[in-house]
A and B are shown apart, each in its own frame.
Chain A
């Protein structure tokens, strides 16, 4: 009996060992594919059990119609642009003002076909702002004068006729913020004064006075909404952020050397020098708390939604010089930007497109704007002022 038990136990053990050996031989995976001794040729020559590291999925840069998501729209330098959303019968178009001439063109962002709609010349046109409807455009004629008269034009989109008038005054900065209102600043004895100009009624109104001149104004969506003001940025001088509402400046608790900012009702994205280098921060206006970003972005290049904590920023992973942003303003340095979508609530980011990798062009993104109807970002390349788009 004892002998019988031993024999049975021995057979069981042998069977177990045989099972394990077979399993290891045919189904186990060596850690290093080079450790495979031989191919037993099971299943038509496929090598089973070898792990091939998966390829990283490339960022999808094509749209279904075969066009690249990132495209250069113009070869001409551009002073300003607007996308007119598509209607049921008419596709979306982009209107832009050609730098240097002031001529206005209409371009199909899908086909690239363009036609000139206005040949009215504004010599040395350097900056233009369109109304959302495209019916109005304001153009500065020279980048060599700090303040001057500007040309305001009413554009008939069907006939292409442009009826212009001169808006006089020591106008420094301007923007058409809706289909009836142009906001602009001018130098006066009391300081930099913000004005509203009704494009239909031609009525001017004073909005606020900033008691200094070297100011950046972030215009709101109407003359009566909040605007933001801060002294022009320099690495060696301190700046402060003010919200302007109902003609009154309200100091926000943000300041620093090399200060620049973009703001909406929920947050402020700002830069300042911290420890001898530029750093970026998010300020939560409700919680009254600032958090640093891991990377340095340039707030004035970014696009913020009107509310919330999501924003899109151009970004290059490069060493920011000590004298920043001064050297960038001087044109002594430029960026090769990627476009990133960032969420300040979750403090996460996602790269949308690496423009240099996609285009082999050095694109320093400025004037970033987003049109939700077409889910398209438009921007100007600071290096040559050409107009580009990126479809998301």
Chain B
């Protein structure tokens, strides 16, 4: 009898064990496809990798299918490289892993390439003739605009989640919020991210990048009554030709609010503060007074609370 019991256990236990193994769930939740980048842009190269580390047993073969067709050259490869299509055209990637015992598990990923462009427009000072873009400085206001696929996708039916250094702006997702403003925090770099989803929560695009802040910098320009502001900066020194010269100080990247309402703004000549009677406090007229020589002209502008919102510099004038 004991032999019968032994025989019974010998036959049933392995099958029981097999059932137990199936019930461990090889299913899709333990196999996934990892894309890099996660949200490929249109017409770019990306990789798809098999993430099967959560499977209880190791697969003995890997097959890849792209848009229903098997990539035989990628058999048993853990990673493949693909080219995304144009905007609006999906790529369906399927991964099939065969396990010992003949079972298979599969995972699927759909790549819908979209351009998500973040246009950063710092509200900092640059002169009108300046053809470049202003840069952010600590404490300055930044406007950011998101454009998906050149604006073909309307923002009104999308949810936008903006994060600055990981913290959600506007307290979370906001419908149609394709533009946002924030103050540049302390630190040389800040991380700005945006996730755009449909109203039902499907992620359309996501972007994360580091935004660099710079220190305000000063440039001096001659002001001509005939031509206006000369566009060549005073480098090193200025020679006074004639009886007088007007010079403008341009504090690049100073927050516009501070530029318009500075708490500290002063001109000095050879260390002596000047009473500037010019209509524009950023301009000064220097006259030789019939004498000759060299003087040092300095300019300083700053906020009294946000001390990093400020800049000072100097130049020499020969007269």
| Chain A interface residues (CB < 8 Å from chain B) | 77, 99-101, 124, 126, 142-146, 211-214, 216, 231-234, 236-238, 240, 242, 248-251, 253, 255, 288, 325-326, 329-332, 334, 382-383
Contacts and interface: CB of A to CB of B under 8 A. Distances in A.
A237 B150 contact: no
Given A142-B228, A233-B133, A249 B119 contact: no
A146 B229 CA distance: 13
Contacts of A99: 227
A213 B42 CA distance: 25
23 contacts: A99-B227, A126-B227, A126-B228, A143-B228, A144-B128, A144-B228, A211-B119, A212-B121, A212-B147, A214-B134, A216-B131, A236-B212, A238-B118, A240-B115, A240-B119, A249-B147, A251-B87, A251-B150, A255-B117, A329-B132, A330-B219, A332-B219, A383-B232
Nearest to A231: B119
A325 B132 contact: yes
B317 interface: no
B132 A251 contact: no
Given A232-B133, A248-B152, A237 B120 contact: yes
Which 5 residue pairs of A and B lie closest in terms of their CB atoms, listed nearest first?
A232-B133, A249-B150, A251-B150, A100-B226, A329-B132
Contacts of A144: 127-129, 228-229
A231 B41 CA distance: 19
B133 to A, nearest CB: 4
Interface string B262-284: 00000000000000000000000
A326 to B, nearest CB: 5
Nearest to B233: A331
A249 B151 contact: yes
B209 interface: yes
B290 to A, nearest CB: 28
Given A214-B121, A250-B150, A251-B117, A331 B231 contact: yes
Interface residues of B, number: 44
Given A233-B132, A251-B149, 19 more contacts: A100-B224, A124-B227, A126-B228, A144-B228, A144-B229, A211-B151, A211-B178, A213-B121, A214-B134, A232-B132, A233-B133, A236-B214, A238-B209, A240-B147, A248-B150, A248-B151, A249-B147, A331-B231, A331-B233
Contacts of B1: none
Nearest to B151: A249
Contact of B221 (A124, A145, A331): A331
**Dominant secondary structure of chain A at its interface with chain B:** loop
B31 interface: no
Interface in B207-232: 209, 212, 214, 219, 221, 224, 226-232
Contacts of A216: 131
B305 interface: no
B227 A234 contact: no
Of B43, B118, B135, B179, most A-chain CB atoms within 10 Å: B135
Nearest to A258: B132
B145 interface: yes
A124 B133 contact: no
B160 interface: no
Contacts of B151: 211, 248-249
Nearest to A77: B227
Contacts of A146: 128
A101 B226 contact: yes
B44 interface: yes
A203 B132 CA distance: 32
A240 B151 CA distance: 13
A253 B118 contact: no
Contact of A330 (B118, B226, B230, B252): B252
B291 interface: no
Given A143-B129, A213-B121, A251-B115, A330 B227 contact: no
B24 interface: no
B235 interface: yes
A143 B229 contact: yes
Contacts of A214: 119, 121, 133-134
B133 A231 contact: yes
Contacts of A238: 117-118, 120, 209
Contacts of B147: 211-212, 240, 249, 251
A329 B224 CA distance: 19
B130 interface: yes
Contacts of A288: 43
A212 B119 contact: yes
Of A99, A211, A240, A249, most B-chain CB atoms within 10 Å: A211
A237 B133 contact: yes
Contacts of B127: 144
B135 A234 contact: yes
A249 B152 CA distance: 7
Contacts of B209: 238
Contacts of A100: 224, 226-228
A232 B219 CA distance: 20
Nearest to A253: B43
Contacts of B235: 332
A241 to B, nearest CB: 10
A330 B130 contact: yes
Contact of B233 (A249, A253, A330): A330
Nearest to B148: A251
A75 B189 CA distance: 47
Contacts of B128: 142-146
A143 B219 CA distance: 16
Contacts of B87: 251
A272 to B, nearest CB: 14
Contacts of B115: 240, 251
Interface string B101-136: 000000000000001011111000001111111110
A173 B44 CA distance: 34
Given A326-B132, A331-B219, A332-B233, A240 B117 contact: yes
A250 B151 CA distance: 8
B43 A124 contact: no
B38 to A, nearest CB: 18
